[in-house]
Structure 1
Amino acid sequence: MRTLFTAVLSAAFAGLLLVGLCACGPGGASKAERLGKDIKDAAMSVPGVESASVNVNMNTSGNFISVKLVGNSTDQTALADVLGNALPPMLEKTKDVESGSFAISIFSPDDSVSAGASALGYTGGKSLSNFRDYFLSGS
């Protein structure tokens, strides 16, 4: 009887161990990683964007999104136009993010010229909701 009890206990322990290991294993991309990929894909779909680097940090302190785009021009006005076209689809991807900060710039291929949201008339700071209000409402 004791051997049967030991066998059952060992099997139960092995089962719990297996469940615990499965719960701790890789479960796919985090919400921040998925959001970063979605924002990057949206940016890359815009003509004139050559590359996009997106960093999304979601933690107990808040949500922080920073984006560096590289355009295909060395003209600041042309870069600003590309940025203006890229912001709406990128910001659409943040609709499920309640609040946070958002920073974005676009650079020429050689990093000698850049443009930010202020080149498009935006003066609302780094608030994600302010960015969405301005660039998704047609202001």
Structure 2
Amino acid sequence: MTLKKRRTPVPALIIMMLILGITACGVGGPSKADRLGKDMQDAAASVPGVKNAQVNVNMNTSGNFITAKLTGTGSDHATLAEALEAALPAMLEKTKDLDSGSFSVSIFSPDDSVSVGAGDLGYAGGTSLVDFREYFLNRS
């Protein structure tokens, strides 16, 4: 008796390869938090006086937590304050879909010797994302 070798049909192989390829790449792409962080980084980095931005967004059952560290192109307090003042509305505009959360941001000189925070721009509202938006998006 001769045993015949069973062959998997070509269409079945193609389907299996596609399924494996999709699962290896991760279905759905970047998370909402990753997308928001990237959008905020891009918004900040597009502002004159901002060399780069690092934004960390953590979204979980406890809430939304956003921290941003910007690096400016200048080294004096006034130049950094001007860059932060321009970057905040651009960044906060990206958070309009969030109803709540905390937010902290600072801009540093390239050598980290000088820093400016929202308090240096007159903001005294704490870490509430809603308060940040209200203050920096409604200024004239």
Taking structure 2 as the reference length, what is the TM-score of the superposition?
A: 0.81
> What's the counterpart of residue 4 of structure 2?
none
1:35-94 Cα distance to aligned partner (Å, 9 max, x none): 000000100110010010000000000000000000011101110110000000100000
Structure 1 residue 26, shift from structure 2 partner? 3.0
Matches within 5 A, 1:1-139: 25-138=26-139
- Paired letter, 2:52: S
Secondary structure of 2:51's aligned partner = strand
Distance in structure 2 (CA, Å) of the matches to 1:45 and 1:79: 15
Which structure 2 residue ranges, 5 or more long, are not aligned?
1-15
Secondary structure of 2:39's aligned partner = helix
Secondary structure of 1:26's aligned partner = coil
Secondary structure of 1:130's aligned partner = helix
> Sequence identity of aligned pairs in percent?
66
Coordinate RMSD, CA, aligned: 2.0
Distance in structure 2 (CA, Å) of the matches to 1:26 and 1:104: 32
- Paired letter, 2:33: A
- Paired letter, 1:118: G
The structure 1 segments of at least 4 consecutive aligned residues displaced by more than 4 Å after TM superposition are none
Which structure 1 residue ranges, 5 or more long, are not aligned?
1-14
Distance in structure 2 (CA, Å) of the matches to 1:54 and 1:82: 16
Secondary structure of 1:125's aligned partner = coil
Flag the structure with higher helix content.
1
- Paired letter, 1:50: K
- Paired letter, 1:61: S
